[in-house]
Structure 1
């Protein structure tokens, strides 16, 4: 998994990303957001925000009472997101890799990884860093608006992304537990994929 290739892939496609990807169906996004138990007020880390597809739905959950830091390692994706949501004062942008993001320990109540986990270049390190960033008992959501099988099949069809895969359920649970997460729950069906876990702290 070459992060330079990945970054170039997303930067090159940022301008027209919203017109071409399959993960921006409004009904599916709203249903996914409804499954996430995000209480207000809340400090949320939107990991791999891309063009900000999921930002409006997280914002609705906060009902104006929280903050969101949207981060991505592809600067052009962040620029696109910022152009769409420039009027939101509670929203900040950070260009960084989740494996190396440093914003202080125990900052966030919630971390949301929407349609991004397969692209983490070092999944164990990314999860360990998320336990550092989340408060004790903070919640991690890893979610997609398609099944694991569908996501993996799409990525296997892209030459540079053939190893950008969601692990099987046992491996995913082990990755999370080794990183310091507990109460791991994995839902995978034809409509969506959702992992929920709590930071042991």
Structure 2
């Protein structure tokens, strides 16, 4: 199967790579612990996970929201979507769509939390992406942007990639704040270090 979108084709080729497909290891536990400290209890809540990749976090989120909650996940890579669908096949509260976030048929104000895990640099129009996330969030809802590495390391890897992602940069904090403000979101927490990686928490 040929993927016409060059960005989707890139991630198709990476779908089996360890960074995308391997189960989380012990080194990820403290990073996930910090993440869940920011989300608070998730049981019964409705989540949006754009750019879900192979569904490593999707499965964890789906188990956390339980049968009374819902996780709407999506990705533009057919192979990554297929892997994610397989991971959550026994979790009816999780749906995985082969689609860009902007094309999901979500009603305004229908989700409690948006989770962008290792995907934010890859949005070509970050302002438009954030506007879509903000529209989906209910008043008081939250956005969490998480990476397992710090911003400088992420940008360095992408810069040196020599592929379609070589210009996919995670913005500096001043730029992120401006983007958030422009879509009605407000940052309430930020951390970026070489031990626990990058985590930004904003609210609507």
Q: TM-score when scaled to structure 2?
A: 0.87
Is the 1:108–1:135 contact (alpha carbons within 8 Å) kept by the matching residues of 2? yes
Q: Distance in 1 between matches of 2:111 and 2:19?
A: 32
Q: Deviations over 1:146-194 (max 9, x none)?
A: 1111111111111121211100111111111111102442211112101
Q: Which moved more, 1:179-188 or 1:139-148?
A: 179-188
1:193 aligns with 2:198: yes
Query: What SS does the corresponding residue of 2:112 show, helix, strand or coil?
Result: strand
Query: What SS does the corresponding residue of 2:203 show, helix, strand or coil?
Result: strand
Of 171, 175, 186, the residue aligned with 1:167 is 171
Q: Deviations over 1:32-66 (max 9, x none)?
A: 44333243220001111000011233234325441
Q: Deviations over 1:9-50 (max 9, x none)?
A: 012232x13x35498543315334433324322000111100
Aligned to 2:6: 5
Aligned positions of 1:1-201 closer than 5 A? 4-14=5-15, 16-17=16-17, 19-21=18-20, 25-27=24-26, 28-29=28-29, 30-39=32-41, 40-160=43-163, 161-190=165-194, 191-199=196-204
For residue 122 of structure 1, report the CA deviation from its aligned partner. Answer: 0.8
RMSD: 2.1
Is the 2:44–2:69 contact (alpha carbons within 8 Å) kept by the matching residues of 1? yes
Q: Deviations over 1:118-148 (max 9, x none)?
A: 1111100000011111111110000011111
Is the 1:100–1:129 contact (alpha carbons within 8 Å) kept by the matching residues of 2? no
When residues 22 and 194 of structure 1 are mapped into structure 2, their CA distance, relative to the original with a 3 A threshold, is farther
Query: What SS does the corresponding residue of 1:36 show, helix, strand or coil?
Result: helix
Q: Deviations over 1:73-110 (max 9, x none)?
A: 11221111112221111111112212443311111000
Query: What SS does the corresponding residue of 1:54 show, helix, strand or coil?
Result: helix
Is the 1:33–1:57 contact (alpha carbons within 8 Å) kept by the matching residues of 2? no
Structure 2 unaligned blocks of 5 or more: none
Q: Distance in 2 between matches of 1:71 and 1:21?
A: 15
Q: Which of structure 1's runs of 4+ aligned residues deviate more than 6 A?
A: none
Q: Distance in 2 between matches of 1:75 and 1:22?
A: 14
